[in-house]
Amino acid sequence: MAVVTPPAIVILGPGALATARRVQARYAGAQIHALQGRVAGDIAFGELGAHLRECYTRGMPIVALCAAGIVIRCLAPLLANKGAEPPVLALAEDGSAVVPLLGGLTGVNVMAREIGAALTVAPAITTSGELRFGTCLLNPPAGYALASLAQGKRFVSDLLAGATTRVDGQAPWLENVDLPLDASARHAIRVSAQAWNGSPDDLVIHPRSIVAAVGAPQEALAESVRHALDARGLAPLALAALVAPTAYTCDASLAQAATALGVPLRFVDSGENTAQATLAALDLAANVERYAPNENGVALACAATPLDPLALGRARGKLTVLGLGPGRADLLAPAARAALDSATDIVGYATYVEMAGPFRADQQRHATDNREELQRARHAFELASEGRRVAVVSSGDPGVFAMAAAVLEALEGSDDARWHAVELAIVPGVSAALATAAQVGAPLGHDFCMLSLSDNLKPWAVIEKRLLHAAQADLVMAFYNPISRARPWQLARALDIVRSVRAPHTRVVLGRDVGRPGETLRATTLGELRTADVDMRTMVIVGSSATRGFARADGSEWIYTPRWYREDA
């Protein structure tokens, strides 16, 4: 079933810690997010508003131990965009009041009751249906879908106005609920895969209990599945998964059909590649009703209770290699953020995995200090070929001296068909040279090159040759990996080569920890640059003969390389 994300418990000072710990004890995997410099928790954040908004947009439930008004003000800018809304609660520091604020349809009142019970206070529930019946009828548990929210609201109003109801079908979550039950009532809560017949007196809830199986990709598949369901009076919302033979794992039209139907796409080894064989290959219980393929080759199976899609064959694995940018959250591409949020597994060098967090308890981290990139890439493919969604993280851009090339090299070198069937995507990031350049102006405004000064993976002689040619070509140069403890002398040698061609007044920019806490930027010249000014967290940009600078209002300098170029400039 769907994994319930543990909440982010957000605190602003030591006075909230004891209460926060009690809430944490209630939710496995929950972490305490604490304001940096004020109190220590599991995760530190710098600014409350930005942090709450980040958790919210990631769909994390939030329990904020501060005034309700503060939480409302922080999240207000996000509320206009109707999207999935995680539960958000305000909790008094001393645990004396718990106020559900947002997420009525995602279980905020359930959480308010749970926290209220843990702290022995009455939750401040204001939803009338909830108050009367002790549950939100419009928020069925995972594995069930409400047929119509509008109809549901009308049904709840009727009950609040005094109507009684029956329960038709299996609704285990309603067993201990205080409903006005009456076996002969006109109103009914109907739990069924059958489509709602339009009766205004029914609250229809569909168990996601149907599998649609095909033998091969086909045109307009989503339409055909809807048609097959319709022909049997079944509701599309009762669909749990679309299943196809493993042979078609990479077929784009199958993926589109599943997206259109709003269900996961799963694969099984189906010997004959027919709908019937696909269905038969699933390990369904004997009492699941099976319907033979219709004229469009769609076979259906319908269970009485929800089916767990994760137990039906396996998913097509996904591997996304993404760049975190220099480190600041707002310089991370939304596509990279989305890949991190949807990942089941995060693979990378420990520092970067930490930088990419916080992660939910259901997300597995594979952080290593291992510098062996190919080995890490192979591990990522192994995970992805089991059907997992893997994010491989690099700093900056993944294609610039980072994991993307290693991932492709691992794939090219493999003849494992499962690896080649993985859905592979590379999401760019803001590389250190670009982040550094933007801080000081536009030193990369004309032709430039990026060079790694590390001779770990290439001979030093090649580096010397490239440096000389780049210097002679009057390219601006961005040096990655300029120096390290294991490579102490190389930078001085590199600078000697550049100095043999370029003038001492050539502009040089040093950016250290750009976009991270403790960022420093320095403008100097080739003549003045000392290797002691540089470490492995530094980006060195050496200007061309045209790179220039002028004073900024704040006393520092803008540095740029003009768009034009003249040989005699």
- Strand order of the sheet with strand 239-245? 265-268, 239-245, 210-213, 299-302, 289-291
Q: Which of 6, 129, 511, 549 binds ligand SAH (CB under 6 A)?
A: 511
Nearest 5°: CA angle at 540, between 538 and 542? 170
Q: Which of 467, 477, 539, 542 binds ligand SAH (CB under 6 A)?
A: 539
Q: Which of 481, 506, 545, 547 binds ligand SAH (CB under 6 A)?
A: 481
Q: Indicate the residue among 62 and 514 with the shorter CB distance to ligand SAH.
A: 514
Amino acid at 384: A
For the CB of residue 507, give the shortest distance to ligand SAH in the complex, in Å: 17
One character per residue 265-304, x = contact with ligand SAH (rule: CB under 6 A): ----------------------------------------
The phi, psi pair for 287, rounded to 5°, reads: -85, 5
Q: Does 327 bind ligand SAH (CB under 6 A)?
A: yes
Q: Indicate the residue among 106 and 394 with the shorter CB distance to ligand SAH.
A: 394
**Candidates 214-222, 360-368, 458-466, 505-513 — which segment interacts with ligand SAH by CB under 6 A?**
505-513
Tokens of 368: 């290593």
Contact call for residues 125 and 153 (beta carbons, < 8 A)? no
Q: Indicate the residue among 146 and 536 with the shorter CB distance to ligand SAH.
A: 536
Q: Does 329 bind ligand SAH (CB under 6 A)?
A: no
For the CB of residue 426, give the shortest distance to ligand SAH in the complex, in Å: 12
**C-alpha span between 64 and 8 (Å, rounded):** 8
Q: Indicate the residue among 151 and 431 with the shorter CB distance to ligand SAH.
A: 431
**C-alpha span between 434 and 419 (Å, rounded):** 33
Q: Indicate the residue among 101 and 529 with the shorter CB distance to ligand SAH.
A: 529
Contact call for residues 115 and 26 (beta carbons, < 8 A)? yes
**C-alpha span between 543 and 546 (Å, rounded):** 7
| Widest Cα–Cα separation across the chain | 96
Q: Which of 395, 506, 544, 547 binds ligand SAH (CB under 6 A)?
A: 395
Q: Which of 41, 152, 326, 549 binds ligand SAH (CB under 6 A)?
A: 326
Q: Indicate the residue among 313 and 511 with the shorter CB distance to ligand SAH.
A: 511
Size of the site for ligand SAH (CB under 6 A): 25
3-state secondary structure 406-458: HHHHHHHCCCCHHHHCCEEEEECCCCHHHHHHHHHEECCCCCEEEEECCCCCC
Residue reference for tokens 């543990």: 6
Question: Footprint of ligand SAH on residues 399-438 (CB under 6 A)?
Answer: 400-402, 431-432, 436
Q: Which residues bind ligand SAH (CB under 6 A)?
A: 326-327, 394-397, 400-402, 431-432, 436, 480-482, 511-516, 536-539
